């Protein structure tokens, strides 16, 4: 397995895993243990994005990265909406370790306003939505530019979601594939 643990000290990012606590759309913790992992290929691109953000005076804050297949089922069983969640029968890029959900924070660690919260399952969450304030649109464009310049693909319905191109070539991974489980 080629998953790399992502930590604030090793990657100069902030981590606030939404599914490790109850402040997410399910209303309860999904992960028993908060840990952030990415496939080694994605970890390299994350490093590029961190450097590009730093050059602009920003840092990245990660809401989710590798998501065991078991967790994808929990999310899907709660809200089976293919516009915002991958059907676990097909597999999610998160469950392959090649997707990351994130935002930008300023030098004081404050999240930049992006017009919606993470996991706001509405059309307002779409990249290019003009229903959010112009300043939020600009910040989304900044994040999109940083991430695409670093080599990431994006998902049009979620301003926070980035994944590797051709993500399906990576195998699906379960909680048992981790050195210490998250579920």
pLDDT band at 1 (very low <50, low <70, confident <90, very high): low
pLDDT in tens, 139-149: 999 999 999 99
104 has a pLDDT exceeding 80: yes
pTM attached to this predicted model: 0.97
**Could you give phi then psi for residue 38, rounded to 5 degrees?**
-140, 150
How many other CB atoms are there within 10 angstroms of residue 99's CB atom? 26
**What's the whole-number mean pLDDT along residues 47-52?**
98
150 has a pLDDT exceeding 90: yes
How buried is residue 56: exposed, middle or buried, by Cβ count under 10 Å (0-12/13-18/19+)? Answer: exposed
Give the start-to-end residue ranges of the domains of the chain: 3-177
pLDDT > 70: what percent of the chain? Answer: 99
5-11 CB contacts, 8 Å cutoff, 24+ apart: 5/35, 5/36, 5/37, 6/36, 6/37, 6/38, 6/43, 6/46, 6/62, 6/65, 7/36, 11/43, 11/46, 11/47, 11/50
Report d(CA 173, CA 34) in Å as an integer: 17
For the chain, what is the mean pLDDT? 97
Out of 43, 70, 111, 158, which one is annotated catalytic?
A: 158
Correct CATH for 3-177 of 1.10.10.10, 3.20.130.10, 3.30.70.270, 3.30.1380.10: 3.30.1380.10
**What's the whole-number mean pLDDT along residues 90-115?**
97
pLDDT in tens, 56-65: 999 999 999 9
Q: Is 158 a catalytic residue?
A: yes
**What's the whole-number mean pLDDT along residues 134-162?**
98
pLDDT band at 2 (very low <50, low <70, confident <90, very high): confident
Report d(CA 136, CA 1) in Å as an integer: 38
pLDDT at position 86 is: 95
pLDDT in tens, 23-46: 999 999 999 999 999 999 999 999
pLDDT at position 26 is: 97
């Amino acid at each position: 397995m080629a998953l790399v643990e992502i930590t604030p000290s090793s990657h100069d990012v902030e981590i606030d895993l939404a599914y490790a606590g109850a402040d997410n759309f399910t209303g309860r913790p999904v992960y028993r243990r908060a840990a952030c992992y990415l496939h080694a290929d994605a970890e390299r691109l994350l490093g590029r994005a961190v450097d590009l953000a730093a050059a602009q005076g920003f840092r990245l804050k990660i809401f989710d990265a590798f998501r065991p297949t078991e967790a994808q089922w929990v999310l899907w069983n709660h809200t089976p909406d293919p516009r915002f969640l991958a059907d676990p029968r097909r597999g999610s890029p998160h469950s392959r370790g090649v997707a990351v959900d994130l935002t930008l924070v300023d030098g004081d660690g404050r999240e930049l306003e992006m017009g919606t919260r993470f996991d706001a399952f509405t059309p307002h969450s779409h990249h290019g939505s003009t229903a959010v304030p112009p300043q939020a649109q600009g910040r989304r464009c900044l994040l999109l530019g940083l991430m695409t310049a670093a080599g990431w693909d994006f998902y049009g319905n979620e301003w926070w979601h980035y994944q590797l191109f051709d993500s399906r070539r990576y195998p699906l991974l379960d909680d048992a594939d981790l050195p210490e489980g998250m579920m």
